[in-house]
Structure 1
């Protein structure tokens, strides 16, 4: 017995008509490259949290020295080596001004008859560590941002010229880069600091002497990648000058990789400055940076760990925040990472 075929009702064959306006209407609003990158960046929770943490630390670097009520370079030997004491929190049994005196734990503020509060304690000269911490953070950030900006400008210009013009120009410029790479960075930095007067300017110049090389090589590789593509050849065919091709076509396409590399350069500069100050060839006292504060805390780590604790926490948070933001920007700006 043959199986009866199921007949579809006639209404299933009705023609659906759509007007041209509805057919061509875009359901979602169009997004620019930067708007699309921002949407992808917002999905990275680590990068978003790091941005807020970084903004908070930068704000504290400028506001912190103003809220403590103490000068960072003011010395008071009667207040020397006081432990942290924070109003309100002291009743919880932490940051209450108690410290070791011999084998006993006593209230050093009461013992020295000090009626002021030092939130992060004081050093051996009686200087407020809270104020010095944020002043040191301010200087470290200043050195890092200026050095990263110089590296970006020199690296983009040098790598762009080398990659775009190519030929003999590229050969000569890359041989210079190879010579600079062959010289250990630390030796160059030490020589520059010995020649110049130690200070912020000397450290910035010392970091920038070879810091731009990595950026220049990345930019050169990107320029070599893009300069032979169709949109550049079309622009050159239409009579565009070299300057217009570089500024209007090549630089916008490599801007993302430049931003990403700069975000990784900043924590490297912070760490390098801290390293120089830690080994004693960085800033000169009474100037403070995170490196000098860590060096001071390292000397008294066994008896006054709080002197080392706070600058170590700040530099660790800065390094983690910048690296997480750099990772987030890399995923957001790299077209290959689109989901």
Structure 2
């Protein structure tokens, strides 16, 4: 059965003219790798909050001892074992200087005739805990950042050379790594303490002796992945030197992985320093670090819990914030690692 075909008038169509010069024009502004990564990390609320927490703690570690009216090392035995007391908060019944004495809640500041405020209280020698906590945080952060920086430099150089040159060089270097992995880290630390005086330098050296191994293995794997890529082969064909290939082609592509691993190295170094100081192999009194302060607070936990509370809280915040920020950087710089 035939049907009538309705024809559309020719004047219903309009020819579209496209300028060939504008055909491939990109209307959206192009973003660099780091700009794109920043846009991704901004969407991660946990990473942004962690960034602000870390920034606050780092600033306070330097500013805290200066804004406190008391020195971190000055001993005032008549002010020993005072609880926290903060102006303004004392009227709310919080941090008001009251403590337990002979089973009763009394104002220890009034009892000892102390007319000044200790915001975090004092320890058994009458030293200001506010100054000591931030001074200890400063020392712990310095050790962690120094150890992480040394681990990054040695690990990137060692892993890069091993992966790029390969062959017998790679075999020899990886056998050395396997030998170092087999030695327990705590044994190395004890040996270092026997030959060196316990202190910041000894802890940094002890952490970095084997701490760079993880970074070197990650860098080696990435270099092995990229050194045979087409853009590297093309650069080598055009006569580029090994140094130029590494600095211009391989290193920029693995920079994100290096940053991510460094961010996870820092909290590990902070915890390791705190552990060494807690068991007595790290910094020695009267030097302050988060580990030594936690060790001091553990001894008087039943009677003076504030001595343990503040360094433990800061250590926990540092560990959580660095790990959350590391997760955020991993998702932003290398989204494939999330899978």
**TM-score, structure 1 length as denominator?**
0.97
Partner of 2:249: 249
Q: Are the counterparts in 2 of residues 164 and 227 from structure 1 also a CA contact under 8 Å?
A: yes
Q: Distance in 2 between matches of 1:192 and 1:149?
A: 20
Q: Are the counterparts in 2 of residues 42 and 48 from structure 1 also a CA contact under 8 Å?
A: yes
Aligned pairs for 1:19-168 within 5 A: 19-168=19-168
Answering whether residue 274 of structure 2 is matched by residue 274 of structure 1, we say yes
Structure 1 stretches of 4+ moved >2 Å: 1-13, 18-25, 335-339
- Mean CA deviation greater in 164-173 or 7-16: 7-16
Aligned-pair distance for 1:52?
Answer: 1.0
Task: Return closer, same or farther for 1:300/1:170 CA change in 2, 3 Å cut-off.
Answer: same
Q: Distance in 2 between matches of 1:222 and 1:81?
A: 54
Aligned-pair distance for 1:334?
Answer: 0.7
SS at match of 1:134: helix
Partner of 1:296: 296
Aligned-pair distance for 1:20?
Answer: 3.0
Answering whether residue 211 of structure 2 is matched by residue 211 of structure 1, we say yes
Q: Distance in 1 between matches of 2:2 and 2:70?
A: 100
Partner of 2:312: 312
Q: Distance in 1 between matches of 2:3 and 2:73?
A: 99
Q: Are the counterparts in 1 of residues 330 and 338 from structure 2 also a CA contact under 8 Å?
A: no
Q: Distance in 1 between matches of 2:106 and 2:117?
A: 16
Partner of 1:265: 265
1:19-50 CA distance string (max 9 Å, x none): 23443321111111111111111111111111
Task: Return closer, same or farther for 1:14/1:208 CA change in 2, 3 Å cut-off.
Answer: same
Q: Distance in 2 between matches of 1:335 and 1:296?
A: 43
Q: Are the counterparts in 2 of residues 332 and 338 from structure 1 also a CA contact under 8 Å?
A: no
Aligned-pair distance for 1:335?
Answer: 4.9
Total equivalences in the alignment: 339
Q: Distance in 2 between matches of 1:5 and 1:87?
A: 91
Partner of 1:238: 238
Aligned-pair distance for 1:5?
Answer: 5.6
Partner of 1:325: 325
Aligned-pair distance for 1:240?
Answer: 1.1
Aligned-pair distance for 1:210?
Answer: 0.2
Q: Distance in 1 between matches of 2:285 and 2:24?
A: 69
Task: Return closer, same or farther for 1:304/1:13 CA change in 2, 3 Å cut-off.
Answer: same
Q: Distance in 1 between matches of 2:79 and 2:202?
A: 34
Q: Are the counterparts in 2 of residues 294 and 312 from structure 1 also a CA contact under 8 Å?
A: yes
SS at match of 1:191: helix
Q: Distance in 1 between matches of 2:5 and 2:106?
A: 97
Q: Distance in 1 between matches of 2:12 and 2:257?
A: 54
Q: Distance in 2 between matches of 1:193 and 1:138?
A: 22
Root-mean-square deviation (CA, aligned residues, Å) is 1.6
Q: Distance in 2 between matches of 1:242 and 1:223?
A: 13
Q: Are the counterparts in 1 of residues 232 and 249 from structure 2 also a CA contact under 8 Å?
A: yes
- Mean CA deviation greater in 58-67 or 5-14: 5-14
Q: Distance in 2 between matches of 1:215 and 1:268?
A: 13
- Structure 1 gaps of 5+ residues are none
Q: Distance in 1 between matches of 2:204 and 2:111?
A: 44
Aligned-pair distance for 1:18?
Answer: 2.6
**TM-score, structure 2 length as denominator?**
0.97
Q: Distance in 1 between matches of 2:110 and 2:65?
A: 25
Task: Return closer, same or farther for 1:99/1:12 CA change in 2, 3 Å cut-off.
Answer: farther
